[in-house]
Amino acid sequence: PVETLINEVEAITDGRSLHRRLPSDLGNEELSRLGLTLNAMIARLETSFGALRRFTADASHELKTPLTVLRADVERAMHPNAAGSEAMQALEEALHETTRMADLVDSLLTLARADEGRFDLHREPIAMGPLVRDVHETAVILGENSGIDVTLSLLEEGIVDGDVWRLRQLFLNLITNAIKYTPRGGKVELSLSQRIGGEIAFTVRDSGMGIAAVDLPHVFDRFWRADRARSRASERGGFGLGLAISQWIAQAHGGRVSVQSRLGRGSAFTVSLPPSPAIPSSEKPENDRKL
């Protein structure tokens, strides 16, 4: 039985062999349990390799389109018969595509560093009330540009240990996503509350198109967009990385992001963060700050 186990494991040599499994009955209880444990590990590896292949293919696809457009714009601007205004328009379009590629590369770099655990957070006690008020002011401006009414319905003070820049990025990611998929004239509602046990909850609720139940388990997958609601052909469509980055930021703070949604009835994304017993530096007495 041991030699059978060794031979089967040696046959699984690379990512293309991970569909194979070890026999479940190896003659005694201990070896059978070992086989089941190895099978579970191989299944996890198969899932990881599959996700890596999809991630590489999706990233290549997302980069290919702007590169193609960028090349066409530059060639159009360099054409001998191109008038000054036409060349300038082509260069402006090329600059837009370059900016989009830079945003994509920055998002990919963020996720890669997060996967490797190389992204340090500068954590300190943060008063959530001022942060959410600041985010709301920005969200109102973003909503005005899209014809969306953004309101702050509830604001309960709370303190968390976190990186203020990353938390702001997390909140604005969710708000931008809500505005992006809410029709003009719709509403986005923000709230900050304390739950039983002191947990801090920041919620972004919209009146947008919503997400189908079958798609909900995939909303935090990288490059994921539902065919109807997150179309690549949409003028407002992004890269499908914002929610993945948001989930990483929440988890890095010991929290989580959850979603509730019904197709055609809007969505609600909630960030839940553990409380901090510390007093934020902005609220400490003057003498303490001097010390």
* Of residues 239, 163, 157, the one with CA closest to residue 201: 157
Q: What is the pLDDT of residue 188?
A: 95
Instruction: Find residue 150's DSSP bridge partners.
Output: 188
| Residues 220/286, Cβ–Cβ less than 8 Å | no
To the nearest 10°, report the CA torsion of 179, 183, 185, 189.
Answer: -40
* Of residues 167, 171, 132, the one with CA closest to residue 252: 167
Q: Rounded to a whole number, what is the distance in angstroms from the first to the last CA of the chain?
A: 69
- Low-confidence stretches of the chain (pLDDT < 50) are 227-236, 281-282, 284-291
Measured at the alpha carbon of residue 272, what is the angle toward residues 269 and 276, in degrees to the nearest 5?
A: 150
Q: What is the pTM (predicted TM-score) of this model?
A: 0.66
Q: What is the pLDDT of residue 225?
A: 63
Q: What is the pLDDT of residue 27?
A: 75
Angle between helices 29-78 and 84-116 (to 10 degrees): 160
Angle between helices 29-78 and 2-11 (to 10 degrees): 0
Q: What is the pLDDT of residue 260?
A: 92
pLDDT tens by residue, 225-261: 654 444 443 444 566 778 888 888 898 899 999 999 9
Q: What is the pLDDT of residue 278?
A: 60
Alpha-carbon separation of residue 133 from 114, 172, 208, 249, 256 (angstroms): 28, 12, 23, 20, 21
CA distance 37 to 35: 5
Cβ count within 10 A of residue 152: 16
CA distance 19 to 219: 26
